[in-house]
A and B are shown apart, each in its own frame.
Chain A
Amino acid sequence: MVAETLKHSPLEEEHLALGAKVGPFAGWAMPIEYAGAVSEHRAVRERVGLFDLTHLGKVDVTGPGALGMLQRVVTGDLSKTEVGHALYNLVLNDRGGIVEDLIVYRLGDDRYFVVPNAANAVRVLRMLEEEKALGPLHLMYHQDWCFLAVQGPRSVEVTGKVLTGASELEFMRCTETEYRRRPVILTRSGYTGEVGFELFTYQDIAVELWHDLLEAGSPFDIQPCGLAARDVLRLEMGYALYGQDLSEDRTPLEAGLSWTLALDKPSGFRGRDAVLRQQREGIPGRLRGLLMADRRHIPRAHCQVFDRNRRVGEVTSGTFSPTLQRGIALAYLRPEMDLGAALEVEIRGRRGSAQIVRPPFVDRSPR
């Protein structure tokens, strides 16, 4: 049973009516699965799925001081992000450890919209509060907003039927539209590897929006999808998940996310010096993809990885890929372990053969 202290989505009744298993996730009671993770996964890969992601953070940063303040917190260079564009960023601590990964959407000249992970939302908010600003700015933490995602090859038709502006939107772009005369932030982004949209608006219209999207998707056999399917979808793309693959004990260089670092931006950013030092000194491990040879072997987080008798790393995320019909994993491996190398993963006392591969594990693109 769901504990009373959990936060609840405005769509919980809808989820229960659809037969969802609702469970605790990052302090929220959220739908884990409806029909089952495998059929939901297939709906997103082949048609379209609808997700409730209201547990994620939603923070507006507005004002002349917004850009300068954000620049010192996040790793990317937002001065190069145009209005209507989005940028994936990390937030680091002074040791270069990853505190958070988040997307920053630029909605206007002085208006940014930040979406942190549910478990980190309050911490990120504190960092934004405490960072010095050279100009006035406001932070608005939208606790009264919901967050829905429409993902899959048919998501353009479905979202376009309900919201204007969807069909023209390119990958990693954002716009403001409306639904029932409420503002909606609409973005072409996602965590599934498919074409998809993310929608942010007020909770009081969440139920109507949910139903309208389901109805618009019914010609394509849209399926409501839970967090279990989302985890399989993101792992098939090799997308790192905060709390599993990313943590304060790992740096962007170790996580394979050095592409998110604007090391030469004039503002600098927290953790930059530590990252530069590690760049000179070398990394202790690197996040890699592992593809299992035999469908019987499904790696899970904390499984140890071996090169013959030498332990060379540990799995941080693992699952069964319905697309490949094989086990896949992300694992931190010793840096000398090269792509293509044959290793073994110890799964509950038995060894299974694996190969180091470069994600994505599946041949899909969200563009």
Chain B
Amino acid sequence: MEFPEDLKYTKEHEWARLEGDGRVRIGITDYAQDALGDVVYVDVPEAGTAVAASQPFTEVESTKSVSDVYSPVTGTIVERNALLDEHPELVNDAPYGDGWIVVVQPADPAELEALLDAAAYRGFVEQVES
């Protein structure tokens, strides 16, 4: 299971990456995709949609269940991963890469500071699993 060092994490198993332009790329973690099983549908919201920190903004559906995805930050979606419309399995194959879900323009980039770092998230997952 991977926990890339350059990401921030939520306890709901999303990751957030601060990009050079101050925007935040969001997806679900390796742990989350593994727990869900084969993803068959991602309801990727349109650009322009407002999202709020710790609030669900979309759903990821696998063969066996559906799971809410929570936004790590408050802001506005500026980019959506249209590849997931036809290839939802990318969430399983590359959760931190081509399986990203949206890019958000954050209202307050400092919000990222409050999220878990890789070590803290790994610890959280290990605690959940034990």
Contact = CB atoms under 8 A, between A and B. Distances in A.
Interface in B7-40: 37-38, 40
Contacts of B89: 38
Contacts of A37: 37-38, 62-64
B63 A320 contact: yes
B101 to A, nearest CB: 15
Residue of A39, A232, A298, A300 most packed against chain B (CB within 10 A): A298
B119 interface: no
A159 B59 CA distance: 42
B111 interface: no
A203 to B, nearest CB: 28
A298 to B, nearest CB: 5
B107 interface: no
Nearest to B68: A348
Contacts of B74: none
B92 interface: yes
Interface in B87-103: 89, 92
A322 B43 contact: no
Interface size, A (range): 10 to 19
B40 A322 contact: yes
Nearest to A325: B40
A300 B61 CA distance: 11
B61 A36 contact: no
B64 A295 contact: no
B17 to A, nearest CB: 25
A33 interface: yes
Interface in A316-332: 319-320, 322
Interface residues of B, number: 14
B66 interface: yes
A331 B8 CA distance: 43
B62 to A, nearest CB: 8
A228 B59 CA distance: 20
Chain A interface helix/strand/loop/mixed: mixed
A38 B63 contact: yes
B37 A298 contact: no
A320 B40 contact: yes
Contacts of B43: 296
A348 B67 CA distance: 11
Nearest to B34: A21
B37 A348 contact: no
Nearest to B130: A1
Nearest to A320: B40
Interface in B38-62: 38, 40-41, 43, 59, 61-62
B38 A298 contact: no
Given A36-B92, A38-B63, A296 B41 contact: yes
A298 B64 CA distance: 10
B57 to A, nearest CB: 14
A36 B37 contact: yes
B92 A298 contact: no
A32 B63 CA distance: 12
Contacts of A322: 40, 63
A2 B66 CA distance: 22
B66 A320 contact: no
Interface in A66-81: none
A1 B61 CA distance: 23
A348 B41 contact: no
Residue of B38, B61, B62 most packed against chain A (CB within 10 A): B38
Contacts of A320: 40-41, 61, 63
A319 B41 contact: no
Nearest to B40: A320
Nearest to A36: B38
Given A38-B89, A298-B61, A298-B66, A33 B41 contact: no
15 contacts: A21-B37, A33-B37, A36-B38, A37-B37, A37-B63, A38-B38, A38-B63, A298-B40, A298-B41, A298-B61, A298-B66, A319-B64, A322-B40, A322-B63, A348-B59
Q: Which 5 pairs across A and B sit closest by C-beta, in order of nearness?
A: A38-B38, A320-B40, A37-B63, A36-B38, A37-B38
Interface of B: 37-38, 40-41, 43, 59, 61-64, 66, 89, 92, 130
